[in-house]
Amino acid sequence: MKASIITIGDEILIGQIVDTNSGFIAKALDKIGIEVAEMRSISDNKQHILDTFSELQDDSDLVIVTGGLGPTKDDVTRNTFCEYFGDSLVSNAKVLEHVTKLIHNYTGNTNPLLQSNIDQALVPSKATVLFNQYGTAPGIWMKKGNTVFISLPGVPYEMKGLMEHEVIPRIVSEYRRPYIIHKTVMTYGMGESMIADRIADWENSLPAFIKLAYLPSPGRVRLRLSARGSDKNELESAIAENIKSLSGLISDVIVGFEEEETIEKMLGKWLTDKKLTVATAESCTGGKIAQTLTSVPGASAYFCGSVVAYQEAIKTDVLQVPTETINRFSVVSNEVAEAMALGVKRIMKTDYAIATTGNAGPGKDNTDKDVGTVCIALALPDGSVISNEFKFGQPREKVIDRAVNKSLEMLQKEILKFVE
């Protein structure tokens, strides 16, 4: 079963916003065994949309469209659906009631609705309406030939709600699909080509129904195995077998296995299980380690807090890094990072503490270190502290991202020791 995803909106084509909807939809479809053959982003232009519908219909069982459903003039999807399906718009009573309730709640009064709000309840007469609990524009499900066309709002939270509550359950109940299993091996400390060289023979002997992909990102490479077929047990045992033989070849650089889990989620599970806590003291990462850790629901069980010590005075006054240490070793030094980690660990009474100090660039600021230099320290439950200086290059955003990743990896490595 094949799907295509279309995103409608000029704001994407001029680069004003990044399309994150297609990725979310693709992941949700992949999970239920549907292959996404193509994604397209096109303009708010009726003819362009109609042409794209025709082009994709032949090769797709499913075409999911996001965007262009708002109440304003630049939103043309609904009318385009009518034209493509030879249909016309009718007002849906249930949607109108929901829109009225939402608007009255939002404005705090019960004034008559604007015409543009009333029009949000218009749907093609032949469409199956998908109820949008988080917003005013409903989803639409229509079939032409063997292809189902689905229209969803472009607002990410609304689109996600509709995918989860309406689209996926409906597909699962109406279509038979093959199994897809992914397994990802996370490695760090070795380049993509070095890994490829080491596992060349293994890679060449993979069965045809298993695909391998290399996914490099700052400081690490993920290897993703994907198996597709009709026999779930066969796929699972083939994946397990190949993961085992792969692990034997690169055990020195493997840090974990995940389906789709992030390092912060894995850390969260371990820390919660072991009832251990962590805090951060951040300079160049500016709170991004804290923010990454707290992106996981339930993080308050193990994440106590952070001191973002962006200016030198905060390092000395709040974290009590001795001025002498800064003067002697420079503000970007392992010694300062260690003092920051121990400082925040003491203040927040945690088991672990991560600290960063560095220069993310673009300027050299008041440090004597090269742009891209970051020192990371990790304070451990036994009172000791370890640290390392890294050269993360440039530009600024890469330096910050690599520092965040490396910090979490250092913590992961220590916790793995503790677990073993």
Task: Identify residues 325-344 at the interface with its own copies (CB under 8 A).
Answer: none
- Cis peptide, bond prior to residue 218, ω within 30 of zero: no
In the complex, minimum distance from the CB of residue 126 to its own copies, in angstroms, rounded to a whole number? 26
> 158 or 409, CB closer to its own copies?
158
**275 makes contact with its own copies (CB under 8 A):** no
Q: Which is nearer to its own copies, 87 or 261 (CB)?
A: 261
Determine which residue in the list 91, 104, 114, 388 makes contact with its own copies, applying CB under 8 A.
Answer: 114
Q: Which amino acid is at 271?
A: L
- As measured in angstroms, the least distance from the Cβ of 328 to its own copies is 21
Find the binding residues for its own copies in span 76-105 (CB under 8 A): none
Contact indicator for 61, 2 with CB cutoff of 8 Å:
yes
In the bound complex, what is the minimum distance in angstroms from residue 71's beta carbon to its own copies?
Answer: 4
CA pair distance 369, 50, nearest whole angstrom: 56
Longest dimension (CA), the chain: 78
Nearer to its own copies, 87 or 243 (CB): 243
User: Which CB contacts under 8 angstroms, 24+ apart, belong to 224-230?
Assistant: 224/182, 224/183, 224/184, 224/185, 225/182, 225/183, 225/184, 225/185, 226/180, 226/181, 226/182, 227/179, 227/180, 227/181, 228/33, 228/35, 228/178, 228/179, 228/180, 228/181, 229/178, 229/179, 230/178, 230/179
Nearest CA-CA partner of 336 in 289, 374, 372, 298 = 374
The site string for its own copies over 182-221 (x = CB under 8 A, - otherwise) reads x--------xxxx-xx-----x-------xxxxxx-----
Q: Which of 83, 129, 134, 144 binds its own copies (CB under 8 A)?
A: 134
357 binds its own copies (CB under 8 A): no
Which residue, 126 or 134, has its beta carbon nearer to its own copies?
134
Instruction: Decide: is 20 part of the binding site for its own copies (CB under 8 A).
Output: yes
Which one, 168 or 212, has the nearer CB to its own copies?
212
**Cα gap 314→324, rounded to integer Å:** 15
Contact 56, 6 (CB under 8 A): yes
Which of 112, 118, 122 minimizes the C-alpha distance to 79?
Answer: 122
CB of 60 to its own copies, least distance (A): 13
Residue in 67, 68, 70, 139 binding its own copies, rule: CB under 8 A: 70
**Closest C-alpha among 77, 83, 37, 87 to residue 58:** 37
φ, ψ for residue 166, nearest 5 deg? -120, -55
The pair of structure tokens assigned to 133 is 């609990």
Closer residue to its own copies in complex, CB, 30/414: 30
The C-alpha atoms of residue 88 and residue 127 are separated, in whole angstroms, by 10
**Sign of the torsion formed by the C-alpha atoms of 310, 312, 318 and 319:** positive
314 near its own copies (CB under 8 A):
yes
CB of 369 to its own copies, least distance (A): 15
Residue 31's contacts (CB-CB under 8 Å, 6 or more residues apart) are: 180
Q: Does 131 bind its own copies (CB under 8 A)?
A: no
Binder among 163, 167, 271, 290 for its own copies (CB under 8 A): 290
Residue selected from 54, 91, 116, 323 as contacting its own copies according to rule CB under 8 A: 116
Binding to its own copies in span 50-69, by CB under 8 A:
none
- Sequence-distant (≥ 6) Cβ neighbours of residue 35 within 8 angstroms: 1, 2, 3, 29, 180, 228
If the CB atoms of residues 143 and 260 are measured against its own copies, the closer one turns out to be 260
- List 8, 42, 162, 337, residue binding its own copies (CB under 8 A): 42
Smallest Cα–Cα separation from 163: which of 43, 62, 295, 53? 62
Contact residue for its own copies among 46, 126, 144, 160 (CB under 8 A): 160
- Cβ proximity to its own copies: between 113 and 129 the closer is 113
Q: Which are the contacts of 369, defined by CB distance < 8 A and separation ≥ 6?
A: 330, 332, 358, 359
- Whichever of 126 and 218 has its CB closer to its own copies, that residue is 218
Task: Decide: is 307 part of the binding site for its own copies (CB under 8 A).
Answer: yes
3 state DSSP class of 35: strand
Count residues near its own copies (CB under 8 A): 105
Question: Side by side, which strands form the sheet with 352-358?
Answer: 278-282, 352-358, 373-379, 385-391
Instruction: Please identify which residue in 280, 357, 373, 412 interacts with its own copies, judged by CB under 8 A.
Output: 280
Contact between 243 and its own copies (CB under 8 A)?
Answer: no
Q: Is 351 in the site for its own copies (CB under 8 A)?
A: no
Segment contacting its own copies by CB under 8 A, of 70-78, 144-152, 233-241, 410-418: 70-78
228 touches its own copies by CB under 8 A: no
